[in-house]
Amino acid sequence: MAFFRLRIDPSPDDPAIAGCLVPVVCFGEGAVVGALDEGREAVIEGSLTERRWKETGGAARSRFEILARTVRVM
């Protein structure tokens, strides 16, 4: 299993669209092809999912992540 974060840059045309970091989770031996270095472009095939849980105090938490089937580094 491999884990990294995908940086989404803010839109230069629309100030309402802010940048963010999206966690990417890869499973399997062939999930990541190539060297993942910061700043490299990659093609990610998979699905966007939402993980939900409750903290110890009962507060609901969630986050979106990409479950990658394949990651190809350009």
Tokens linked to 54: 């409750």
pLDDT tens digits, residue range 7-63? 888 888 888 878 888 898 887 765 665 677 788 888 888 899 999 999 999 999 998
Could you give the domains of the chain? 2-73 (2.40.50.140)
What does the pLDDT read at residue 65? Answer: 92
Cα separations (Å) of 54 from 17, 25, 57, 62, 66? 28, 21, 8, 9, 20
What does the pLDDT read at residue 59? Answer: 94
What does the pLDDT read at residue 33? Answer: 59
- Among residues 36, 31, 37, 35, the alpha carbon closest in space to that of 71 is found at 31
